[in-house]
Amino acid sequence: MRWPELALRLALIASPFGAVASGLPAWITAPLSFLSIAVTAELAVRPYGTSAVDRVLLGCGAVVTTLILVGIILNLTPWGLTQVTWNVAWLILSVGILVWRRRLGTHISLPVSGLGVLAAWAAAGVLIIAAAGMLALAGVRHVARQPVLAFALVVKKPNSVIVEVEATSMTGKYHILATSDTAGARQYTSPVFAVKAGENGTRVLREVPINTPGFWTIDLESADSGSVVRWLRVNAG
Amino acid sequence: MSFLRAWISGDGEEPAAESQAERGIAQLIDLSKQQSLADPAGPAPETSEPSSGPAPVSAAGDDTGHPIPEVQPRPRARAVWAGPVLVAVALGILGQAWVGYQGRITGYPSSVRWYGTLCLIFVPSAALIMSGRISDQARTWFTLFLSLALLATRFVLYPDQFVYHDELINYRVLLSIEQTRHLFTPNSLLPVTADYPGLAIATSAVHQLTGLSLHSSGMTILVVVRLIMTLSLVRITQRISGSVTLGCLAALIYATNPQYIYFNSQYSYQSIALPLCFFCVYVFTMERKAEGLLAVVPSAAVVLAVAASHHLSSLALIVVLWAWYLFTRITKRPVDQLLALAVISLLIVAIWTFMARAVIVPYISEIARNSITNIVNLLHGRSSHQFFTDTAGDHNPAWEVALSALSVLLIISTLVPALWHAFMKRRLLSAAAITLFVIAAMYPIIPVGHLTNATAEVSDRSSGFIYVGLAYLVAAWWFRSGAFHRHARADRFTVPRHTWLLVVGLTICFVGGTVIGSGPSWLFGPGRYLVSADNRSVDPLALQAAHWEGASLSPGNRVYTDRVNGLLAAVYGDQHVLTALGDRVDQGTVSTLLLRNPAPADVSVACRAGVHFLIADQRLATSLPHVGVYIDVGEYLSGMRTAPPDPGALTKFDNVRGAERIFDNGAIRIYDLRGLQCAGRS
């Protein structure tokens, strides 16, 4: 292996380690890492693979097997399976393979001739598959936009409880009504408040004063219709 | 990139391979001899030139006395259809995405469109692969492309999250690794999965090494293992038969197995173990440079990975290795180091199973007990199982039923002569081929297993293994040269081997097999909410509740709820969901908390089970469960239910002293039961 190739391989091995450690986004780190893994795996299995198919198969199989076995070994260490231990383990493995296969040189040649027609078809295929991916995600976003409204307890305090209204894709005006059968309990009615939830949802917190310990029923009432849309039953105080 | 070059030029080794394939079963030479012929420096497996050495039968005739005709090489043809097929496959994936989109918009995904677009992927690819118009290399790559495209159909239906039962269970294992940094954290959803973390380890590694999300990392692993499975299958079959074409046909036949589209495409531990089993055999049959026990180290490493991934797959691998060894003894054609690998593998799997015995024994016992109970009920005429109908009464359309029945008939009608053909030429079979012969002969387990619910699941899961043998044997039969009967004329009892006939048959088996494996129509993709219907029960309301639990409750509370909300509570809510297997709760009793009308015993039941939070989905009262149970096997009125539970059963804790209702989103209510006045609790 000549020194330019060695340097390039070392850079490829080290770059994902640095990229992931520095917190770069996945669209940068993932391609780098996959390239690094593929290049290392190809080098490791090259003498055993008699054709491209065999090398791809051996490389993928070897990577999956190695990851599982390395994971079992990492589990035995006090640090376990973390980003650091995985990256260090892979770094050691990659350098080890580089040393092991130091006598193998690589000659890269791209099949330039005759690719034109099929490349055009392939490009069309890739575009269609990309469209499929976007369509699938559009469907997911549609579902995520469906209106939902939740009313929930957040925390209990000695003289009050905090409740939340968590909503997505809906608007409305509500007020909170707190009642209790406990002797001396004073009913509480909150001022009307608006919930304006877009596609990303919103969370509205309200504090409900409680004047006596016991079980309280806390209603979320629609200010428009006057009907109870959600309710809670809380042992407060 | 060399395959692209071969694709375009249309040159390569196709005529030779075709000739080799036509020699069919006569080429079933011993693997060990095949290995010794391999030339590590050149593309010998790709070229498939007729091997000189020990091929037992010449092209002139076999031991049955029937001549095996020499097939004239076809003229070289340009692969003009490769590009259009590539686009057709992409359009098929787009069609799948459209089906998913429509399902989400209208609530009713079209099964006709779903199967239609699957066929748009399968049919042109199968036709091209078997057409003989592309080189061997291109044929192999296209087989791989087809298998990955079929996997991609799952991704476009659910692109952003795991939604199926087994996926969520295995996702919980992955989350545990991320949270604790260590393996074997108990998983109450299915305890056995924690002790077989191979899939989760590989996913975690990809996540940590690449920075991809956990879900994307999981999909990456699924792609890689699908690649391993397809290419291993092609190569193993090729090594036994000497034909790339036969290997690709075997991979196509394998793609018709009932679990291919559905279960083996899921993020589940079997999805990684099965391909690694194939890979183990592939690695073992490679030419080995090392001597002695060192030669089996790579294969043993793969066995260890399998053992760490899935219990039954590792057991099946052991059985196959020992059967293979047994047949080498019978045929007196030994395979180097096979005994060593079989012994080492047995030790590895035995040790791993011993370490996991606390979870594996109850799990297997449970499956066995359910299967036996179902069979006993069937024998006594008490089975409530209905073909092609789920427990909520949803029927598969008639055309799906017809196609699945036709596919079974088609497989049997090809498997029987294939088995007979192989039997008649048994002296030519290698030990590996005999092993596959025996595996293929187990096919009747699959249709017969569908007589009951529990055995249907077991038999469907076994199809991943059985179809390896079936695929090889039927492919070898298709490329046979002589008659399948010793006393028959060569062309009398055999069907003409037109490619179109093969593709039609494969398509029927593909659609029919997918119907059998995927079950009811709602299971394949998104749509309106259905009660206890796995993917169709994971909706924004259920997800909202689960995410609220994760954000508002401390982790690890003992939670009791139905099947799907339990999965979501464990995965997104980080709660400990009570199950019969994980916590040994009496499901028949505890399930009354959700499924029985208010009763005085409710409080004591909740107290005895130590339930902290009860998650009650009001929608359970609207329909019978689509997967057979609301919560789990053995629940209250399990198998006897003719109507859904009364709505009052799900709201009864509104009026129980000490119970707090702390979450309400209209459908799902969460009760805090920690304040119940339990006997003996201060």
Per residue in B519-529, pLDDT (tens digit) is: 888 999 999 99
Chain B residues in contact with A90 (beta carbon < 8 A):
205, 209
- Same domain, residue pair B157 and B268: yes
Measure the CA–CA gap between B155 and B223, rounded to whole angstroms.
Answer: 10
pLDDT of residue A112: 60
Same domain, B187 and B106: yes
Q: What is the pLDDT of residue A3?
A: 84
Beta strands in chain A (DSSP E): 148-156, 160-168, 170-180, 188-189, 193-197, 202-209, 214-222, 228-236
Per-residue pLDDT, B450: 83
Please name the residues between 47 and 76 in chain B that touch chain A, using a CB distance below 8 Å.
Answer: none
Boundary-marking domain end, from B469, B493, B524: B524
Which region among B8-12, B211-215, B348-352, B469-473 has the lowest average model confidence (pLDDT)? B8-12
Domain limit, last residue, from B524, B549, B581: B524
Model confidence pLDDT, tens digit, residues B128-163:
999 878 889 999 999 999 999 999 999 999 999 999
Residue B94 has its nearest CB partner, among A111, A135, A231, at A135
Structural domain range at position B612? 534-672
Question: What is the tens place of the pLDDT at every residue in B595-626?
Answer: 999 999 999 999 999 999 999 999 999 999 99
Percentage of chain B modeled with pLDDT above 90:
69
**To the nearest whole angstrom, how far is the Cα of A171 from the nearest Cα of chain B?**
15
Residue % of chain A over a pLDDT of 90: 74
Does some domain include residue B480? yes
- Which residues in chain B touch residue A111, judged by CB atoms under 8 angstroms apart? 1-2, 4-5
A73-118 confidence digits (pLDDT tens): 999 999 999 999 999 999 999 999 999 998 888 877 766 655 678 8
Residue B358 included in any domain: yes
Residue in chain A nearest B138 by alpha carbon? A53
Mean residue pLDDT of chain B comes to 86
Q: What is the pTM of this model?
A: 0.90
What is the C-alpha separation between B247 and A51, in angstroms, rounded?
16
Q: Is residue B107 part of a domain?
A: yes
Domain of B630, CATH number, reads 3.40.50
H or E stretch including B573?
none
Residue contact B201–A68, C-beta within 8 A = yes
Would you say residue B203 lies in a domain? yes
Of A30, A231, A235, the CB nearest to B675: A235
Based on the domain organization, do B386 and B238 belong to the same domain?
Answer: yes
- Least confident residue range of A71-75, B231-235, B370-374, B569-573: B370-374
Q: Decide if B563 is inside a domain.
A: yes
> Into how many domains does chain B fold?
2
Q: Nearest-CA distance from B196 to chain A in Å?
A: 11
Mean pLDDT of A12-39: 88
- Interface subset of B 591-650, CB within 8 angstroms of A: none
B52 is a domain residue: no
Among the ranges given (A108-122, B90-104, B178-192, B382-396), the one the predictor scored with the smallest mean pLDDT: A108-122
Residues in B closer than 8 angstroms to A24, CB to CB, are 211
Does A232 sit within 8 Å of B661, measured CB to CB? yes
Residues B508 and B558 in one domain: no
Task: Tell whether B368 and B451 lie within a shared domain.
Answer: yes
Average pLDDT over residues B200-220: 96
Q: Are residues B520 and B540 in the same domain?
A: no
Tell me the nearest-neighbour CA distance from A209 into chain B, angstroms. 17
- Residues 6 or more apart whose Cβ sits within 8 Å of residue A99: none
3-state helix, strand, coil in chain A (%, to 5): 45, 25, 25
Say whether both B417 and B558 belong to one domain.
Answer: no
Q: What tokens were used for B62?
A: 């076999």
User: With an 8 Å Cβ cutoff, are A135 and B97 in contact?
Assistant: yes
A112: tokens are 């330039």
The answer to whether residue B94 neighbours chain A at the CB level (below 8 Å) is yes
Domain co-membership, B616 together with B666: yes
In sequence order, the β-bridge partners of residue A171 are A196
User: Which of the pair, A184 or A135, is modelled with greater confidence?
Assistant: A135
CA-closest candidate to residue B664, choices B615, B593, B631? B615
State residue A50's pLDDT score. Answer: 83
Question: A148-236 falls under which CATH superfamily?
Answer: Immunoglobulins (2.60.40.10)
Q: What is the mean pLDDT of residues B619-637?
A: 94
The token pair at B653 is 């804790």
Eight-class DSSP state of B52: -
Helix, strand and coil percent figures for chain B, each rounded to 5:
60, 5, 35
Rg (Cα) of chain A, in Å, rounded?
30
Asked if the structure places residue B599 within a domain, the reply is yes
Domain with CATH 2.60.40.10 in chain A: 148-236
Q: Looking at the structure, tell me whether residues B486 and B600 fall in a common domain.
A: no
Could you give the ipTM of this predicted complex? 0.94
How many contacts, defined by CB atoms under 8 Å, are there between A and B? 286
Of B14, B116, B108, B20, nearest to B68 (Cα)? B20
For residues B381 and B463, membership in a common domain is answered with yes
Query: What type of residue sits at position B545?
Result: A
Same domain for B518 and B560, yes or no, is no
pLDDT tens digits, residue range B37-50? 333 333 333 433 33
End-of-domain residue from the set B505, B524, B543: B524
In 3D space, the residue among B222, B173, B164, B171 whose CA is nearest the CA of residue B197 turns out to be B173
- Give the CB-side neighbour count of residue B590, counting CA atoms within 13 A: 27
Q: What percent of chain B has pLDDT over 70?
A: 86
State the Cα torsion B506-B512-B516-B520 to the nearest 10°.
140
